[in-house]
Structure 1
Amino acid sequence: MTEYLARLAEPEWQRRERAHAERMRRWTEPHQRRRSRGEKHPVLDFLFTYYSHPPSHLERWQPGPGVVLGGVSARRFLDRRGYRDTGDGVALDLAACTPRRERTLRHVASLLEATAGRAPRLSCFGLHEWAMVYRQPPDEVRHAQLPLRLGSAGTDAVVDELGVRCGHFDAYRFFTEPARPLNRLRPTRETQRDFEQPGCLHANMDLYKWAYKLGPFVPAELVGDCFELAADIRLLDMRASPYDLSALGHSPVRIETPEGRAEYARAQAAFARRAAPLRDRLLRLCRDLLDVTGAAGNTV
């Protein structure tokens, strides 16, 4: 990657800026209205609470590296961290890629590369959500506003019968204490690179996390693609959970049945295919940035 590859005239980058904001407002505006009313949404809140990127930042457009923004209006980008005046416009300042940011780039590149190098495993059937309520008192269930489709005893019976095969640490850490010994894998934060695999719904949702954590170095359109993938996966995640979402208009994926498990695996495989090019784009971006900043020798 050379430092600058393209110059966008003011009308072009402003068009892209408007298009991105409008695209993301499909999600951010309903969330902000719910929040103003004190309403919780058991499916969609996850996208703004577990993932900590503020809605206003999600709507904000950024060109990513290698782009010079032309026109007088581009100077407002200088009010943000990480931009500089090139004399021909405004662009990302690659000197803003600090040693701390380089460590993040190396970590993300290593994780994405390891994940992409594995075949998808499609045998978990979304039981991580069931393990989060296994033998849990009703008043301590995570989404207490939603009934359990099979009740507490029925939910526990499904976990006992099918077992749990979750390799994603950030799901496993929310398991109830009685559920943890039932998991066939023992993921930790330190072994995350060894366990992540491209069939995992949460690993694919986390592409959004890695996109926004890399800050202005990721083009807004790629952040938006990763966010929309996470939103679509989240719906499957909850439809396959033990919760009854019928009041929200969502039918269940009944993973307690062979037909439901087959449906889940098909959807899981489709999301793995959809995530693959996004993972590849993020990985190439990390590598290119490390090359430009002279940190490539420290990467994977």
Structure 2
Amino acid sequence: MKRITIDPITRLEGHGKIEIFLNEEGDVANTYFQVPELRGFERFCVGRPVEEMPLLTNRICGVCPEAHHMAAAKAADAVYHVDPPRPAKLLRELLYSGFYFTDHTTHFYALAGPDFVMGPEAPVAERNILGVIHKVGLEIGGKVIQARKHGHEIIEMIGGRKVHPCTSIPGGLTKGITHEQRAQIAEIGTWAIDFAQFSLQLFNDIVMGNQEYAELILGDIYHHRTYYIGTVDQNNKVNFYDGKVSVVSPDGERIGMYAPAEYPEWIAERVEPWTYLKFPYLKKIGWKGFVDGADSGVYCATPLSRLNASDGMATPLAQAEYE
């Protein structure tokens, strides 16, 4: 049996590899996505004060520490049975929005984007951020760098650091922002909306305008019928920071909605011997293996899943693109 190894994976943050096994006819017999690195965060957090969790867990990743920071902060709120005041909630959400903008800019332009923007026939050596800048121009490359800079400025103003924020504590934050910082963040927000609209147009022109890629994206080669989950607000609109988790079937039927504290009632984790990655699945459906369909508890929790699990976006411009 022939074996193909892709190691390391370069389109995702973190350590991973893919093992592909071919049968005698040269067809794929089996494929494994492996995370070979043992991080051990679950173990060395045991016995530590809960107040330390927002600082410890955000070291899981240097690209998305804000997500781990906020999740741990919310867990600490729950342990202390405290509900942060509205200004603290708004500041936390603003910090997270700055991260979300920065993180998706990184993914679109530096990780996933190069394969699409450069085109299917581009040499592998050109499918990177430098290749993208060469194709779209230095001015646009400068905008990408500026977008990341702005996002981290917001994170630093609220979170105390550009990377690995440190201000969330049980019940709120250790600091607020000044009037000058508020004005600066508002200015960055206006700039970010323009940049997001520009990026959408770039995607439509270069990616969806390429017939070969459009057929690949819209075809059934990568189509999986799974359940979808995503956080939504009280109007069932996408919310990135707070709300309940909406669960939708492969056919688009909402089968339930749960609060974060109800996670153990809905989600279980499967462990396989060939990877340190865990495989969450819906308890109510059960684990049926690595198969899709309504009878399998496998679900997706991705940007597309957020859209599938919701009734739209909460802001006008985003809703217009959704429609």
Q: What is the TM-score when the length of structure 1 is the normalising length?
A: 0.31
Of structures 1 and 2, the one with the larger relative CO (CA 8 A, separation 6+) is 1
Q: What is the TM-score when the length of structure 2 is the normalising length?
A: 0.29
More strand by share: 2
